[in-house]
Amino acid sequence: MQTIRPVPFTRVTLQDSFWAPRQHTNRDVTLPLMYDRLKETGRLDALRLDWKPGKEPVPHIFWESDVAKWLEAASYSLAVHYDPQLDALLDEVIALIALAQQSDGYLNVYFTVVKPQYRWLDLRDAHELYCAGHLMEAAVAHHAATGKRTLLEVLCRYADHIATVFGPEPGQKRGYCGHPEVELALVRLYRATGEERYLKLSQFFVDERGRLPLYFHGEQAARGGAPSYFSNPLSPSDRGYDPAYCQSHKPVREQTEVTGHAVRAMYLYSAMADLAGETGDGSLLGACRALWDHLTGRLMYVTGGIGSTEKNEGFTTDFDLPNAHAYCETCASIGLVFWAHRMLHLTGEGKYADVLERALYNNVVSGVSLDGRRFFYDNPLASSGSHHRRDWFSCACCPPNVARLLASLGQYVYSESAGGAAIHLYIQGSGTVDVASYTVKLHQSTQYPWDGHVRIRVEPQQPASFTLSLRVPGWCRAATLSVCGQAVPVEVQNGYARVDRLWHPDDLVELSLEMPVERVYADPRVEANLGCVALQRGPLVLCAEAADCGPGLAALALPRDVQLQAAYEPDLLGGVVSVTGRALRPVVPSTGGGSLYGTEPWTTEPVTFKAVPYAVWDNRLAGAMRVWLREA
Amino acid sequence: MQTIRPVPFTRVTLQDSFWAPRQHTNRDVTLPLMYDRLKETGRLDALRLDWKPGKEPVPHIFWESDVAKWLEAASYSLAVHYDPQLDALLDEVIALIALAQQSDGYLNVYFTVVKPQYRWLDLRDAHELYCAGHLMEAAVAHHAATGKRTLLEVLCRYADHIATVFGPEPGQKRGYCGHPEVELALVRLYRATGEERYLKLSQFFVDERGRLPLYFHGEQAARGGAPSYFSNPLSPSDRGYDPAYCQSHKPVREQTEVTGHAVRAMYLYSAMADLAGETGDGSLLGACRALWDHLTGRLMYVTGGIGSTEKNEGFTTDFDLPNAHAYCETCASIGLVFWAHRMLHLTGEGKYADVLERALYNNVVSGVSLDGRRFFYDNPLASSGSHHRRDWFSCACCPPNVARLLASLGQYVYSESAGGAAIHLYIQGSGTVDVASYTVKLHQSTQYPWDGHVRIRVEPQQPASFTLSLRVPGWCRAATLSVCGQAVPVEVQNGYARVDRLWHPDDLVELSLEMPVERVYADPRVEANLGCVALQRGPLVLCAEAADCGPGLAALALPRDVQLQAAYEPDLLGGVVSVTGRALRPVVPSTGGGSLYGTEPWTTEPVTFKAVPYAVWDNRLAGAMRVWLREA
């Protein structure tokens, strides 16, 4: 496959029953609701810089990032669905941001009004450059959506200021942020402005990361001994900090194992992939490949969730994938989508699209309720019934992250290159791709993910010769293909079937992906899933919920040979394909005086079992849930 | 069964290969080592009351209890194995204690030298009465062992002082200790001295417990707002305290469900049983019976461990019995032995002896290494290889608790009553029992717990008519009995087979308890053990250790129909019966590029499997361990 570029979401429409309603809800419900939250929690007013000691709430170090992701999401929405009120609201918020900018270009509420004496002195914990990065992403999105340069210019000035503070020259700081983000944002700023200095600054931050002596070790002294933002006040020393938490335990090119905080890792690896693409740096790509194999071969949940524990919001040891205590932060899976998308375009390999799809259709979309009003921060694979989405979080990174992802979802569907077009995701709707000097419109008709049959109408401006690459997902064991009614043998290379021909307007491609219910088994080194099976149909991982299966989900066992039926239920959870079958449930001993332990295995009784997509769990009555079921 | 009394350990000798070496090690290794620890950690010197602010270490509120339990254990040792040096050492420590006593009888280091202003003002957290209780138990033991009244008189004075402070009269405090212990100790003091006021004080504490308004809620005001000892300094309010933690959420007679901190619960229930026995209070016995059924039917591990979580060192919800994170504090199982022993003697029901035996042979004895030098605080039922016994603990309740239990173990073997004798535990050795006006010596010859054959030589002073009750353990499915060579039908009532006859010197009873390897299944509501089996042989729960089975214990599966062979291995772990068989282990996919998830179940390969008694785990090379194994 040649070098390919994503087709921007502005040239893609989604008209399916799975994603399009999510996008509408995101626009009509989530974005307005999120603005209200930003307002009522003080995140917007903090930009007025009128905080004084004693006043509540105290601006938090994260706050700009929440505002920025909302701005980014709203800009994406505006780009495809113009709304003058939203446009004006964005201008208002951007004016606040512009006023908060200092004369030297600096722009951070916390370190302007709360702790001005520590500006750039707590890179490890205080998220200063992280917030800057999110504001840059918002600026790029706003400029692209509206053509206005208001926010873009603010952020360019800030980036220019940052470039004076950080760098290899004498007097400059050789530091980098404890939470990667600015690195990928600077690449976006470079692409939006063409200013190479932003690319170079991103490179600097990535190259410095993990150099010894660890930059963070000197910060405390520079603060006169004051503890860092998240230090335990009882033990203010930096010595206990594990640099692997923020992927700075060694130079990034030497990193082969995924470590630490999952979102930090995904944002860093995304930037590494960006830089590999921009500069052709093979050592960065090599590190990305090794990290990818480690992540997906040893650390990823079947839902595309990553990060096993709340303790570090991140990774633990290989194959440690507990279900009920899985962390699987929504933001981490979104970060995985970002990274996978970049790896796909760097390599053209379908394995990256497989993981992108897995994360998107399961862990990511689980992050928001069907009504767009409630959010998961962590997405466990089993719940006793007490885990539910919430309206908002004091650390509110996930809700606006889902919002910006949904608003820009179209960008993951198609790619274009000089020699052809590729379809990565099957979503009813259309995309306009540029192939060499032609414009080609691709129309998908499909019930995907409920059905694996996809009709693609190819509409070049004029007859045109190019390759259409169609992804054959890794989960699919049998696919058939026809072009204009003629069966074509499906030869899958790197995850794609390719049709190379002279295309005429209204040529029809039909791809049929067999989509049976699959039983999925984990590597036996995953202790949590020993003796267990998960169900997957197409890209969707299924789960059993108490709402369908009653109590005692943990004890439910699926006989290995039981028949499972898939059926579309239009009235269930907005319309989903559910899977039913017979399972076995232990007969609970009659209560009273019984012994906990006996020498006979418990008896079982057959019960009806139903599974629904994990994507939509916890949208009914509160109850238990399980992805991995015992197998009898 | 008539009212029975335990035969004191001073009339019992143990000469078996399981317990006798433990007792010798306890005497020769553990007790001297523990004295050294008490000395070197400052616990003994603190009694000199010469602490001043700024001096390290600061005396801890628990310290007297550690000294007291060592004194108690050493006294038991002295009672059956006189050692003039130990006798003198005890006198020395007792002299220190006597000097620490204040003129009003008060005796507590912390509240004499560190926080004198809070004497009796932090009953909830500060363990003041708890320490008093342990000192009383030590005093009773020392007096019984040596005839000396030195410590007994100190503690009687202290108890008399306590009786002036606490009580129902005007001006007295209607409080009780956050950690029960003094209640059972006062009953012992009453029995040792005949002074009914100690019994009444115990009754007062038990009766007050859980009365509303909760006593503890008023303590903070009485301290002028100072937080209690274990309050979070950031939230000094008492409001967040859960009175169920210390079983004071309702009056004890209304408690039907076991709650809170496990050791606290066991010590309280033991006192309730004591008082039920002394006073004939049926409502206390009724509460004990309900609590017992709840504990053993829903909250007890197969090892006799209790307390599922470190968070409260205690109970969580019904059937919540995780294995790797089991807390199962050694002290809690010892407390269970105490309570079971009392319930057995109140009711004569073998179910209490069954639990006593289960706790003793598994969780309790696991608490100390074979060499007597290292101790478990918590006794999980699975370990990844990182859980090991330790030399000592800053909160060192468990080591001296094991020591006093082992030193007085003989008391659990026999009982006597006007009409007969009972044997509860089969341990080679002998006991001298008083039956009516006769003295009868009972000699056991047995390899128990390695073998279920027990020969009992009955040696009455003269021919005597009485009932000999022989426990038929709950784990035993087939027992045979013969008396003087004549087979006798085994009729088990309340857990005991009874032989009522005119006994002559040298009459021989032979009891044969079938002891196959049993597969044990947990109630299916125990989520942690779904699909799993434990192995038990006689009273011993077995476990698999990496030392025998290699890595990947979690993945090991025992086919339901596999044959298991038990064999005595004299050179293994001091001589144990191990169990071997064939198990299945998943074949780990060859490394590199593999996917974590696939649609085929993993393949397995047969491996040799060996299990050893849980009692002796972690006495070899560090490695993983599991009690509950997957069943294939």
- Give the whole-angstrom CA distance, residue B285 versus residue A97: 72
Residues of B whose CB is below 8 A from A560:
601
Mean per-residue pLDDT for B262-272?
Answer: 98
* Of A538, A488, A479, the residue nearest A508 (C-alpha): A488
Instruction: State the residue for tokens 């719940």.
Output: A383
Which residues on adjacent β-strands are paired with residue B296? none
Nearest to B401 by CA among B574, B263, B541: B263
Which residues does chain B have within 8 Å of residue A518's beta carbon, measured at their own beta carbons? Answer: 599
pTM of the model: 0.89
% of chain A beyond a pLDDT of 70: 98
Structure tokens at B337: 């032995």
> Domain A414-513 carries which CATH code?
2.60.420
- DSSP code at position B7: P
Cβ–Cβ below 8 Å for A531 and B298: no
Q: Is the pLDDT of residue B236 over 60?
A: no
Residue of A328, A309, A316, A268 lying closest to A292 (CA atoms) = A268
On the CB side of B493, CA atoms within 13 Å amount to 9
A323-337, A548-562, B147-161, range with the lowest pLDDT: A548-562
Q: How many A×B Cβ pairs under 8 Å?
A: 109
Q: Is A518 on the interface with B (CB under 8 A)?
A: yes
pLDDT for residue B2: 42
Per-residue pLDDT tens for A140-188? 999 999 999 999 999 999 999 999 999 999 999 999 999 999 999 999 9
Q: Are strands B507-513 and B453-460 parallel, antiparallel or unpaired?
A: antiparallel
Radius of gyration of chain A (CA): 25
Q: What is residue B191's predicted lDDT score, i.e. its pLDDT?
A: 98
pLDDT for A395:
86
CATH class assigned to B419-513 = mainly beta
**At residue A237, does pLDDT exceed 70?**
no
* Percent of chain B scoring above 90 in pLDDT: 91
> Rounded to 5 degrees, what angle do the CA atoms A304, A309, A315 make?
65
Note whether A586 contacts B: Cβ–Cβ < 8 A: yes
Q: Is the CB of A298 less than 8 angstroms away from the CB of B530?
A: no
Query: Which of chain A's residues have a Cβ under 8 Å away from the Cβ of B557?
Result: 531
Q: Which pair of tokens denotes residue A595?
A: 């012994």
Give yes or no for residue A233 having a pLDDT over 80.
Answer: no
Smallest Cβ distance to B588: which of A518, A525, A531?
A: A525
Q: Which residues of A touch B526 (CB under 8 A)?
A: 596
- What residue in B sits closest to A601 (Cα-Cα)? B521
Closest CA to A156 of A109, A201, A89, A114: A201
What letter does residue B373 receive in the DSSP assignment? S
- Spatial CB neighbours of B592, under 8 Å, sequence gap ≥ 6: none
CB contact under 8 A, A597 and B522: yes
Contact between B559 and B632 under an 8 Å Cβ cutoff? The reply is: yes
The one catalytic residue among B181, B183, B208, B313: B313
A246 is catalytic: no
* Neighbour tally for B57: CB within 10 Å: 13
CB spacing of B300 vs A596 below 8 angstroms: yes
Q: Over 50: is that where the pLDDT of A342 sits?
A: yes
Chain B contact set for A584 (CB, 8 A): none
Q: Decide if B302 and A597 are in contact by the 8 Å CB cutoff.
A: yes
Cβ-Cβ contacts under 8 Å, B594 against chain A: 297, 523
3-state secondary structure of A600: coil
Interchain CB distance below 8 Å, A598 and B530: no
Average pLDDT value for chain A: 95
Report how far residue B139's alpha carbon sits from residue B153's, in angstroms, rounded to the nearest whole number: 8
In this structure, how many other beta carbons lie within 10 angstroms of the beta carbon of residue B168?
9
Hey, of A536, A588, A596, A607, which one would you mutate to test binding to chain B, going by the most B CBs within 10 A of its CB? A596
Clarify whether A313 is annotated catalytic.
yes
Euclidean distance between CA atoms A602 and A617, whole angstroms: 30
Kindly report, residue by residue over A347-390, the tens digit of the pLDDT. Answer: 999 999 999 999 999 999 999 999 999 999 999 999 999 999 99
Q: What is the mean pLDDT of residues B500-529?
A: 96
The letter for the amino acid at A162 is I
Q: Given A72, A181, A313, A329, which residue is catalytic?
A: A313
Helix axes A196-208, A182-193, angle to 10 degrees: 160
pLDDT higher than 70, residue B357: yes
> Across the interface, do B593 and A527 touch by the CB < 8 Å criterion?
no
Q: Which residues are CB-contacts of B179 (< 8 A; sequence separation ≥ 6)?
A: B127, B129, B130, B246, B261, B263, B264, B267
B232 confidence band (pLDDT: 50, 70, 90) = low
Q: How far apart are CA B61 and CA B70, in angstroms?
A: 16
pLDDT at B94: 98
* Per-residue DSSP letter, A359: I
Give residue A168's pLDDT: 96
**Closest CB from A522, A557, A588 relative to B596:** A522
For the stretch A197-201, contacts whose Cβ atoms lie closer than 8 Å and that sit 24 or more positions apart, written own/partner, are: A197/A160, A197/A163, A198/A159, A198/A163, A199/A275, A199/A278, A199/A279, A201/A159, A201/A162, A201/A163, A201/A166, A201/A167
Please tell me the least confidently modeled range out of A134-138, B394-398, B541-545. B394-398
- Number of helices (H), then strands (E), belonging to chain B: the values are 16, 24
Note which residues in 423-482 of chain A have CB less than 8 A from chain B. 477
First CA to last CA distance, chain B: 44
Residue A590: is its pLDDT beyond 80? Answer: no
Name the B residues in 101-120 with CB < 8 Å from any A CB: none
Phi-psi region of A584 (alpha: psi -120 to 50; beta: other; left: phi over 0): beta
Phi, psi dihedrals of residue A377, rounded to the nearest 5°: -90, -50
**Spatial contact of A166 and A175, defined as CB atoms under 8 Å apart:** yes
Query: Are the Cβ atoms of A602 and B518 closer than 8 angstroms?
Result: no
Residue A581 pLDDT level (bands cut at 50, 70, 90): very high
Domain range list for chain A: 29-49+57-208, 414-513, 517-631
Mean pLDDT check: name the lowest of A332-341, A532-541, A595-604, B255-264: A595-604
Reported as a pLDDT band with limits 50, 70 and 90, residue B166 is very high
Q: Does B561 touch chain A (CB under 8 A)?
A: no
Cβ contact (<8 Å) for B522 and A300? no
- Chain B CA closest to residue A384: B527
**Residues contacting residue A566 through CB under 8 Å, at least 6 positions apart:** A516, A517, A537, A577, A578, A579
Q: Is A552 on the interface with B (CB under 8 A)?
A: yes
Quick one: DSSP state of residue B622? S
- Contact status, residue A583 vs residue A558, Cβ threshold 8 Å: yes
Tell me: domain B242-412, CATH 3.40.50.1000, correct?
Answer: no
Confidence of residue A230 (pLDDT cuts 50, 70, 90): confident
So what's the pLDDT on residue A229? 87
Q: What is the pLDDT of residues B57-110, one digit of tens each?
A: 999 999 999 999 999 999 999 999 999 999 999 999 999 999 999 999 999 999
pLDDT for the residue B177? 98
Of the candidates A348, A485, A474, which has an alpha carbon nearest to the alpha carbon of residue A419? A348
C-beta atoms of A524 and B588 within 8 A: yes
Strands of A56-126 (E only): list them: none
Q: Strands B420-423 and B464-471, how do they pair?
A: parallel
Query: Average per-residue pLDDT in chain B?
Result: 95
Dump pLDDT digits (tens) for A424-438.
999 999 999 999 888
Among the residues of B107-261, which ranges form H helices?
A: 128-146, 150-165, 182-193, 196-208, 219-222
What's the CA angle centered on B53, arms B52 and B57, to 5 degrees?
80
| pLDDT tens, residue by residue, A71-80 | 999 999 999 9
The residues, ordered by sequence, that sit 6+ positions from B221 with a Cβ below 8 Å of its Cβ are none
A584 bridge partner residues: A557, A606
Query: Do the chains contact at B524 and A595, CB–CB below 8 Å?
Result: no
For chain A, report the end-to-end CA distance as a whole number of angstroms. Answer: 44
pLDDT of residue B221: 87
